[in-house]
Amino acid sequence: MYAIVKTGGKQFKAAKNDVLIVEKLDGEPGTKVDLKEVVLVCEEGKVKVGSPYVKGASVKAEIVRQAKGPKIHAFNYKPKKNERKRWGHRQLQTHLRVLEVIPGK
């Protein structure tokens, strides 16, 4: 059984014992999280599609760690103007371990 979950503006496939890397969620490692925005649930070949979400479905997960993603480097310049700007960014991430997928009604 697996579910498609929406969090942080993105969708993730979640099955039991999977580790998902999602946008930062509040909480310390070991905290339980309940993801309620379930778009699709597939159990034993039967597919439930929500409009927009599957009623009563949720995914229970545990925060494994809080981390930063890889550094993204960017550089802007304007020719003949001596304008140069360099910057970087590291997105905050949360690593979740899926404990249970609840299919709903």
The total number of structural domains in the chain stands at: 1
What is the sign, positive or negative, of the torsion defined by CA atoms of 57, 22, 97, 44? positive
User: Could you read off the pLDDT of 65-102 as tens digits, one per residue?
Assistant: 999 999 999 999 999 999 999 999 999 999 999 999 99
Nearest of 6, 2, 13, 27 to residue 93 by alpha carbon: 27
For 16, the domain range is 2-102
Residue 105 confidence (pLDDT): 74
* Cβ atoms < 10 Å from Cβ of 80: 5
Peptide bond before residue 52 is cis, with ω within 30 degrees of 0 = yes
